[in-house]
């Protein structure tokens, strides 16, 4: 199932023409278990990092890890203006917990408050961020791999059962 969804989108002569015209490495747009799993994991890892221009980081990581670019870029949008405040607050609380600190800060949503307390926020925020980035990306990597392999096995079973019926 998972595999079929991705494979349907990859059959396009326009896409092939684009790849040839701009000399894009095939791995950046190929849809197979390894490139999709890596794209989901790397995209999720980058998505939880509180930083500007997350999509640019994905582009810089492309030649190093060679994954599906559109999926990696799409995954970065897990963190968006609606989800960011909740994600970062949970990461901050988790960082405090992992560092065995108490979060005695009464958070105010004002630029002034953030400027005054930035030194107290940064370390716990990034400790929590690293915790969730590793946890989420590892979980999604293995989940996509598992679902992909299961999908292939199910397809093979269906083929065998169809052959037996004929």
Please answer whether residues 55 and 76 qualify as being in contact, where contact means their C-beta atoms are separated by less than 8 angstroms: yes
Say what the pLDDT of residue 23 is. 74
Size of the chain in residues: 166
Return the pLDDT at 2. 56
Whole-number Å distance between alpha carbons of 39 and 16: 20
Instruction: Give the residue from 37, 28, 41, 32 showing the smallest Cα distance to 78.
Output: 41
Whether the model clears a pTM of 0.75, i.e. scores above it, the answer is: yes
pLDDT attached to residue 24: 73
Q: Mean pLDDT across the stretch 23-47?
A: 89
Domain ranges within the chain, ordered by starting residue = 2-165
Q: Which pLDDT tens digit goes with each residue over 73-108?
A: 999 998 888 888 899 889 988 999 999 988 766 777
pLDDT, averaged across the chain = 86
Quote the tokens at residue 125. Answer: 């925020």
CA atoms within 13 A on the CB side of 97: 10
List, for residues 106-131, the tens digit of each pLDDT value: 777 777 877 888 888 899 999 999 99
pLDDT at residue number 126: 95
User: Of 102, 85, 99, which Cα lies nearest the Cα of 131?
Assistant: 99
């Amino acid at each position: 199932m998972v595999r079929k969804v991705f494979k349907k989108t990859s059959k396009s002569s326009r896409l092939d023409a684009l790849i040839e015209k701009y000399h894009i490495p095939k791995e950046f747009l190929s849809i197979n278990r390894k490139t999709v799993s890596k794209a989901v994991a790397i995209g999720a890892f980058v998505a939880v990092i509180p930083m500007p221009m997350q999509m640019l980081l994905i582009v810089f990581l492309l030649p190093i890890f060679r994954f599906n670019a559109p999926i990696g870029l799409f995954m970065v949008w897990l963190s968006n203006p609606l989800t960011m405040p909740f994600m970062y607050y949970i990461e901050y609380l988790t960082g405090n917990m992992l560092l065995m600190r108490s979060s005695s800060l009464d958070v105010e949503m004002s630029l002034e408050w953030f400027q005054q307390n930035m030194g107290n926020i940064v370390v716990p925020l990034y400790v929590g961020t690293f915790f969730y980035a590793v946890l989420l990306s590892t979980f999604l990597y293995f989940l996509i791999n598992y679902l992909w392999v299961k999908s292939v096995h199910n397809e093979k079973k269906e083929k065998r059962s169809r052959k037996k019926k004929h």
